[in-house]
Amino acid sequence: MRKIVSRFFTSRCSFLSDSILPFINEILNYSSLSIVGLEKNTGKTECLKYVLKRMPVDSRRIAVTSIGIDGETVDQVTRTQKPEIVLPQGMFFATSEAHYRQRRLVSELVDVSDENTSLGRVVTAKALTSGKVLLSGPPSATGLIRWMSQMRRIGIDLTIVDGALSRLSSASPAVSQSMILATGAAYSANVNTLVQKTAYVVQLINLPLADDSMRSLFGALDKGIWWLDDEGKLNELSSATSLSQHIHFQGMDRCRAIFVAGALVDGFIEKLRANRNLKNVEIVVRDFTRIFVSPQLFRLFIKAGGRISVLQKSKLIAITVNPTSPTGFVLDSGALCEKLSEAVGLPVYDLLKN
């Protein structure tokens, strides 16, 4: 068996007949997991189903929720069929009051929070029988963090968060320790473009942590732009955010690092590159979800000697692919897995082929 597992990890394309893929066991090393799709219909819900079906609920206390709405039979945007969510007996789940009333399983009520959504308060319960449910939990990263803290207080070992369209905040390290990324033909119908776009997101996820001193200094700052000089003194820029049109970098010749508390955007990088004293400075952001920089500009900045680091990062466990687009266009799954795995250095799974 050891030989088979070893061969699996060296393989570029991960198609195994074994129903338990290695990343399932790796999930159990963390207390939280986010499953994030780079676009609708990239197979995120199929990934969630795969994970839930294989969780050891007999020996671990596991809870699941969604930052969007999951478990619908028809996608509300594309009008395509969606897989339903089936929870195993013993799993905890959080959903809105409206969707809790529609559950098709027997459950035990655990908590009704003060977190209000458009569909009522968030209800947490334990499934006493296996059955189907619509998941629509806390709608924000802040709400998710509160819910996950509550789960830890009642002894939950692992919380699983299903992300929503373009809501990468659910993958923020402030929310989850680990993550799975779902990509596919819905993100791009061209294999090379899809690989390039997905690889860039993976590059951002894997950005290095800032050193301990900077994480300590910048960690308490929740707004503005700050810079650290070579003597360790912290200074604030007059501009409020990186979106400001007029940012002045006077007196920063001894700048060691710049911390951007909000979003990091193209305009800010371009201004730094125009300043010869700062074009290879280290930029620190809270985590990869704060970066909104084009791949081309990002690479130009790095190539010129600039660095970008983060205060928090989570572990990217695996990447899953859906080679079929909502319009019916199908990419070659083997070629996609091969090229993407080579580009990112991680196993890539087509779960339906498994």
**Residue 279 and residue 306 in contact, taking contact as beta carbons nearer than 8 Å:** yes
List all residues 6 or more positions away from 124 whose beta carbon is below 8 Å from its beta carbon: 63, 92, 93, 94, 109, 110, 111, 112, 113, 147, 150, 151
Q: Minimal CA–CA distance to 161: which of 110, 98, 92, 77?
A: 92
Order across the sheet with 158-162: list the strands. Answer: 107-117, 120-127, 92-96, 62-66, 158-162, 32-37, 178-184, 315-322, 348-349
pLDDT digits over 102-148, tens only?
999 999 999 998 878 888 999 999 999 999 999 988 888 888 899 99
> How far apart are alpha carbons 288 and 208 in whole angstroms?
10
Q: Tell me if the domain spanning 2-206+314-349 has CATH number 3.40.50.
A: yes
Q: Minimal CA–CA distance to 69: which of 109, 29, 111, 98?
A: 98
Note the pLDDT of residue 245. 63
318 forms beta bridges with 180
Note the pLDDT of residue 19. 58
Note the pLDDT of residue 166. 53
> Phi, psi (5° rounding) for residue 12?
-75, -35
What the block records as the tokens of 92 is 């905890």
Domain boundaries, the chain: 2-206+314-349, 212-310
The model carries a pTM of 0.86
What the block records as the tokens of 279 is 């074009």
Note the pLDDT of residue 10. 36
End-to-end CA distance of the chain: 18
Chain centroid offset of residue 207 CA: 14
- Rg for the chain, CA atoms, rounded: 22
> How far apart are alpha carbons 215 and 207 in whole angstroms?
14
> Phi, psi (5° rounding) for residue 258?
-120, 130
Q: Minimal CA–CA distance to 36: which of 24, 25, 48?
A: 48
Note the pLDDT of residue 28. 95
pLDDT along the chain (354 residues), means of 10: 36 48 93 92 91 95 84 48 79 95 96 87 96 90 90 96 68 87 92 95 95 94 90 81 70 89 92 85 94 96 94 94 90 94 93 80
Note the pLDDT of residue 78. 43
**Residue 239 and residue 247 in contact, taking contact as beta carbons nearer than 8 Å:** yes
